[in-house]
Amino acid sequence: MQEQYPIRKLFPGLEEGLYEEMMKHGDIREIPAGTVMLRKGQSIRSTMLILQGIVKLYQEDEEGNEFFMYDIEPGEACAVSMVCTYRQENSQVVAKALTDVTVLTIPLQYMDEWLGKYKSWHYFVIRTWRARYEELLNTINEIAFKNMDERLEFYIKGQVKKMGRQIKLTHQEIATDLNSSREVISRLMKKMEKNGWVIIHRNSFEWIKP
């Protein structure tokens, strides 16, 4: 694992003994894009550290409607799995592989042990919780204080940062993430195209705004 996935580079600043335990006790899983990795109500017995790819977290209501929360990228951990694992609770969110994903799963018993044994792991868990909390605040700010065209631009810029200027998302997928309708997103995307911000393709688009 050390050669193929440089965990020291992805997760810097940890003690050497912790790196060794992560490689010894962690389990690597390769997950195809589109796979639901975590379901609402699911019991969680391990936490996930992302080695490769992007994982999308969202809320889902009883009718199956989705509300996008945030993405998790390489070098980051799933804060939800950390909280649920530590408190032995069931998940309240859904996690899906946005791209092909490789994760390192850490069983519950080591999560508890490392919190007391390694100060760097304690700080890493706190940083992970704080980062996710700040992302949720940004999401709430976008919903509460900005109109849909501003939210759409903010969302697209976030996707460009993660995946590059060629974005393989349909208008329906964007609408689902933004809790809007496909018609509204299509109208706003056409407006962006007219302004020279995007080039729209079938099931994808290219962001060209400087």
The position carrying tokens 């992970």 is 128
Locate 146 and state its tokens: 């900005």
Locate 166 and state its tokens: 């060629």
What does the pLDDT look like over 103-162, one tens digit per residue?
Answer: 999 988 888 889 889 999 999 999 998 988 888 888 777 777 788 999 999 889 988 988
Sequence ranges of the domains in the chain: 7-143, 147-207
84 pLDDT above the threshold of 70: no
Q: Which amino acid is at 38?
A: L
Amino acid 209: pLDDT: 86
Query: Is the pTM of the predicted complex or chain greater than 0.85?
Result: no
Q: What is the mean pLDDT of the chain?
A: 87
The position carrying tokens 């998302």 is 169
Cα of 97 vs its chain's centroid, Å: 9
64 pLDDT above the threshold of 80: no
Amino acid 88: pLDDT: 65
Count CA atoms closer than 13 A to 54's CA, side-chain side: 12
Q: Which CATH number fits domain 7-143: 1.20.120.1770, 1.10.3470.10, 1.20.120.1760, 2.60.120.10?
A: 2.60.120.10
Instruction: Provide the 10 A C-beta neighbour count for residue 79.
Output: 23
Check: CB of residue 110 under 8 Å from CB of residue 57.
no
What does the pLDDT look like over 159-187, one tens digit per residue?
Answer: 898 888 999 889 998 998 888 889 999 99
Give the DSSP H or E segment for 149: helix 148-163
Q: Which CATH number fits domain 147-207: 1.20.120.420, 3.30.70.3270, 2.40.110.10, 1.10.10.10?
A: 1.10.10.10
Helix (H, G, I), strand (E, B) or coil at 116: helix
- The lowest-confidence range among 81-90, 118-127, 186-195 is 81-90
* Average pLDDT over every residue of 17-23: 93
Check: CB of residue 73 under 8 Å from CB of residue 162.
yes
